[in-house]
Structure 1
Amino acid sequence: MDWLNAQNLFSVLTIVIADLLLAGDNALVIGLACRGLPPAQKRVAFFWGIAGAVILRIILTSIATVLLMVPFLQAAGGLLLTWIALKLLLPQQEAGEVDAAVSYTGAIKTIILADLLMSLDNVLAVAAAAHGSIALVAFGLALSIPVVIMGSQLVSLVVERFPILVYAGSGVLAWTAGKMLVEDRIMHRLFEHVEHIPVEIIVPAAITLLVLVAGRFLKRRLQKKLQAREEILSG
């Protein structure tokens, strides 16, 4: 059995770790975006979020080798994911049917965009670890699906029970965004010239701190606006 060699076993281990971390991020963003939705809307949002993650993984996996050659693609994904991590910290509107509908459609849009970005990150990591093996790429794709399905529902339940964990979830996504930026093929070459500075840690840490601080500030500001609007409507 030629495939049971040291390189392939190491590739399998790498793919498992990448899927648990990166597909776990997909589950995290689906769970965070769905928090607070009514049960019926939450089920639909879960369905589209999970379906989007699976479909995008299949599409991106089929062109993984091409994606590895696109300059700055992963860095751009990291910047967009930073915005999503910040957006998930902002308060959800809960004042009436119109706001509920806006919150619902906004959750769907956030999930699909985040799925695209993090599926890209996951597929690139798996494709690099697979070293051109279609079987290993397919294994990584199959493994990521149950992680997203089970993880997203678990995250939603936990976050609704302990809302403070939204900050932890957003921080994880922000750190992932920073790693995507640093690990981009072109950006990595640029950072190689920076000596004696652990860029691979400093950049994700800085982005995470920025997102959490900015998110806290914007959340308090928006909460005050929502309270003021509710007082005007009730008065």
Structure 2
Amino acid sequence: MDIANPQFWIAVLQIIAIDIVLGGDNAVVIALACRRLPEKQRNLGIFWGVFGAIGLRVILIFFALSLLAIPFLKIIAALLLLWIGIKLLQPEPDSNGHQVDASTTLMGAIKTIIIADAVMSLDNVIAIAGAAKDSIGLVIFGLVVSVPIIVWGSKLVMKLMDRFPIVIVIGAGLLGWIAGDMSVTDAITREWVNANAAFLHWLVPAGGVLLVVVIGKWLAARTQAKMAPIVDLADDINKPLS
């Protein structure tokens, strides 16, 4: 498509609009994945996480239509997304005063962002590919322009999470909702659900939210209960002798 053609710029605006609408999910994932990083590491985590996620999305564009036609693929992706949501609700590990390896933490955050974006992007790339009219150059251009939007959104969400911890629960629940929606729109389930049980389009996502929040909170409570005696023992040891 010629850059001087008005249709080119209309397509660019459409792609950016798609990323603004759909980028909220990505911003939540980035914020959740980077919230435990030291302040100096957060910008690196955001940058490399977004870089990897956008690169992966460009690759997925090539295979979008064929990927979504594979039975059970979205169901498998939904299960992975549920696992990520539950994992993000777990408490920070206690370092007991020892310095946490920043590079390991940073790589873990980047990996979480890329994996989550991969399973969340199967629907997104279809919309982007349609707006781009089969022009991969246009797709890449539109995605690059959208990066600052996603980065700004993730920083905003992180600030909210630092101030209001409930945002973490809401973000993890959002992943559960997306996972539930993906499971009922898989190639193997979509037609049956549309014909016989359309209510599952909201019931299953709602169930995904409950599943992530309930299991995530339950596991977090168990972890904290196991850690409590260790913390008490460490406090006793560190008490000054009278």
Classify the TM-score, shorter chain.
0.7 to 0.9
- Superposition deviation, residue 225 in structure 1: 2.0
Equivalent residue number for residue 39 of structure 1: 39
**Highest CA radius of gyration, 1 or 2?**
2
Q: Is contact 1:56–1:116 with CA below 8 Å preserved after alignment?
A: yes
Is 1:145 matched with 2:143?
no
Match of residue 123, structure 1, among 116, 122, 125: 125
CA 1:2 to 1:17, structure 2 compared with 1: closer, same or farther past 3 Å? closer
- Superposition deviation, residue 207 in structure 1: 0.9
Q: What pairs with 1:1-235 in structure 2 (closer than 5 Å)?
A: 3=7, 18-95=18-95, 96-97=97-98, 99=100, 101=102, 103-127=105-129, 129-130=130-131, 133-134=134-135, 137=139, 141-142=143-144, 144-195=146-197, 197-234=198-235, 235=237
Where does structure 1 lack aligned partners over 5 or more consecutive residues?
none
Over residues 19-41 of structure 1, what are the superposed CA-to-partner deviations in whole Å (9 max), with x where a residue is unaligned?
33432211111101111321222
CA 1:75 to 1:153, structure 2 compared with 1: closer, same or farther past 3 Å? same
**Amino acid in structure 1 at the alignment position of 2:209:** T
Q: Is contact 1:24–1:147 with CA below 8 Å preserved after alignment?
A: no
Q: Is contact 1:50–1:149 with CA below 8 Å preserved after alignment?
A: yes
More deviation, 83-92/225-234: 225-234
CA–CA separation in structure 2 for the residues paired with 1:26 and 1:66: 23
Identity %: 43
Over residues 92-146 of structure 1, what are the superposed CA-to-partner deviations in whole Å (9 max), with x where a residue is unaligned?
124244655564443233222112222333213433x549543775576346423
Q: Aligned with 2:189: secondary structure?
A: helix
Q: Is contact 1:22–1:118 with CA below 8 Å preserved after alignment?
A: no
Q: Is contact 2:47–2:151 with CA below 8 Å preserved after alignment?
A: no
Over residues 47-71 of structure 1, what are the superposed CA-to-partner deviations in whole Å (9 max), with x where a residue is unaligned?
2211111111111123323323322
**Alignment length, in residue pairs?**
228
**Amino acid in structure 1 at the alignment position of 2:89:** L
Q: Is contact 1:29–1:114 with CA below 8 Å preserved after alignment?
A: yes
More deviation, 99-108/57-66: 99-108
CA 1:113 to 1:22, structure 2 compared with 1: closer, same or farther past 3 Å? same
Q: Is contact 1:26–1:119 with CA below 8 Å preserved after alignment?
A: no
CA–CA separation in structure 1 for the residues paired with 2:163 and 2:175: 20
Q: Is contact 1:26–1:53 with CA below 8 Å preserved after alignment?
A: no
CA–CA separation in structure 2 for the residues paired with 1:104 and 1:211: 24
Q: Aligned with 1:186: secondary structure?
A: coil
Quote the RMSD (CA, aligned, Å). Answer: 2.9
Where does structure 2 lack aligned partners over 5 or more consecutive residues?
238-242
